[in-house]
């Protein structure tokens, strides 16, 4: 699956001068994870994806976008654990800072179009982390509907790191508030 331009644009040098110059295609997980380690604020943090897309310019990958099953098992009124099939979550998105304005939104739009050609998509959810100053402007530009902030939550920290799973009773650690996320939803009929 590849989305390419129908016209040849003038070469803008080592970085694209227009988001129209980006080529979007499916990439392997390793390539996507390398992009995220380099340019995403969560860096090395693992996650599970179903399908990964890369944005390239002049045969160089300048961004990655990963879709997977939603972490939320229930998102009223859209789905619950029994009706979640066909719902996807944008797990990660990262692009080189030198990419031109609107590159992220164009990348998201093309990747969604390719995802919908590959699988049945009932809807897509995504989050923008308020704790790092993200508001989700790129999701609004791509037609997602803003649904507000997620509920307040806390994480259990042990030795300077979040304890992802397991018991906390009897373990020396500290509960710290987690940043709230802006929730965006896009439904397909």
pLDDT tens per residue across span 54-85: 998 888 888 989 999 998 999 999 999 999 99
Q: Taking 90 as the threshold, does the pLDDT of residue 167 lie above it? A: no
Res 14: pLDDT: 58
User: Phi and psi dihedrals of 118, rounded to 5?
Assistant: -90, -35
Q: Taking 60 as the threshold, does the pLDDT of residue 157 lie above it? A: yes
Would you call 20 helix, strand, or coil by DSSP? helix
Res 134: pLDDT: 80
DSSP code for 79: B
Encode burial over 8-36: b for 16+ CB neighbours within 10 A, e otherwise: eeeeeeeebebbebbbbbebeeeebbebb
Res 140: pLDDT: 94
Q: How confident is the model at residue 142 (pLDDT cuts 50, 70, 90)?
A: very high
pLDDT tens per residue across span 10-25: 444 556 677 778 889 9
User: Phi and psi dihedrals of 116, rounded to 5?
Assistant: -70, -25
Res 16: pLDDT: 65
Tokens matching residue 12: 């803008």
Res 79: pLDDT: 95
Res 13: pLDDT: 54
Which of these, 95, 90, 92, 147, lies nearest to 121 by C-alpha position?
90
Whole-structure pTM value: 0.80
Q: Which range, 41-45, 134-138, 176-180, is most confident? A: 134-138
Cα separations in angstroms, 159 against 78, 156, 162, 171, 173:
38, 10, 8, 11, 7
Length of the chain: 189
Range from 71-80, 102-111, 151-160 carrying the lowest mean pLDDT: 151-160
Res 5: pLDDT: 42
Which of these, 88, 72, 68, lies nearest to 144 by C-alpha position?
88
């Amino acid at each position: 699956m590849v989305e390419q331009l129908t016209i040849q644009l003038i070469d803008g040098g080592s970085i694209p001068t227009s988001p129209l110059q980006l080529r979007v295609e499916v990439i392997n997980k390793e390539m996507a994870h390398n992009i995220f380690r380099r340019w995403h604020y969560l860096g090395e943090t693992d996650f599970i994806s179903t399908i990964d897309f890369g944005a390239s310019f002049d045969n160089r990958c300048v961004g990655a976008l990963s879709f997977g099953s939603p972490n939320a098992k229930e998102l009223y009124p859209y789905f619950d654990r029994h009706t979640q099939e066909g719902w996807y979550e944008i797990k990660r998105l990262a692009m080189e800072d030198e990419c031109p304005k609107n590159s992220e939104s164009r990348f998201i739009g093309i990747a969604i179009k390719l995802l919908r050609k590959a699988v049945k998509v009932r809807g897509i959810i995504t989050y923008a982390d308020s704790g790092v100053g993200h508001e989700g402007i790129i999701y609004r530009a791509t037609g997602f509907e803003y649904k507000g902030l997620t509920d307040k939550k806390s994480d259990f920290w042990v030795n300077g790191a979040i304890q992802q799973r397991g018991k906390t009773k009897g373990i020396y650690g500290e509960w710290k508030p987690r940043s709230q996320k802006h929730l965006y939803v896009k439904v397909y009929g």
